[in-house]
Amino acid sequence: MGQKYLSSITITYCQPRKIFMPARREQVLFLDYDGVLHPDAVYLSRQGPVLRAEGELFMWAPVLVKILEDFQEVSLVLSTSWVRNLSFKRAMGFLPFDLGNRVTGATWHSSMARDWADENKWDGRTRYDQISRYAARAQLANWVSLDDDPEGWGTTAQHRLVACNPDLGLGDPQTQRLLIEALRRMTSR
């Protein structure tokens, strides 16, 4: 008496929603924006990022799209201050679709701001340190970086860096050749 039978109660469970996340690919290109996809002369205004040089923001992005056509298995990880300053979603939104579709993550995550009382710990790290920590956490073996900041890249890691001239970025044919060579080496492993 007074017992309730669970079998007579209908409970509706929520079905898990399918979320599309691209599969983590084995070959990764760490991508900086400033000095790579446009000249390193960008400042953040109330209206958003502004280029203080001739040209336009992301003017060399089509060059990267074209190069990556031959490297379909290469995914992108953003290693740019844009993620920290604007958010991952907004930073990724500036990329052309063909590049944004390849993005699987970023070296900076908003949880880092909560975890560190002093964000200067992040700011004080070299780009190499930021990238190598991400690569170690993700257990990446095949990766290269396209960046205009060569600071901190030791001799054992130089083969992973395609260094851009901050004023020319991917507009420089020599940098384009070096990137293609680095991607070929990486994808042949």
Split at pLDDT 50, 70, 90, the class of 164 is very high
Look-up of token digits 């990556």: 68
Tell me the CB-side half-sphere exposure of residue 32, using CA atoms within 13 A: 28
- Residue ranges of domains in the chain, CATH in brackets: 24-187 (3.40.50)
What distance in Å separates the CA atoms of residue 28 and residue 64, rounded to the nearest whole number? Answer: 14
- Whether 24 contacts 140, CB under 8 Å: no
pLDDT tens column, 128-162:
999 999 999 999 999 999 999 999 998 999 999 99
Integer-rounded Cα Rg, in Å, for the chain is: 21
- Specify the pTM: 0.81
What distance in Å separates the CA atoms of residue 49 and residue 86, rounded to the nearest whole number? Answer: 9
- Whether 138 contacts 185, CB under 8 Å: no
Split at pLDDT 50, 70, 90, the class of 122 is low
What distance in Å separates the CA atoms of residue 39 and residue 54, rounded to the nearest whole number? Answer: 8
Per-residue pLDDT for 77 more than 90?
yes
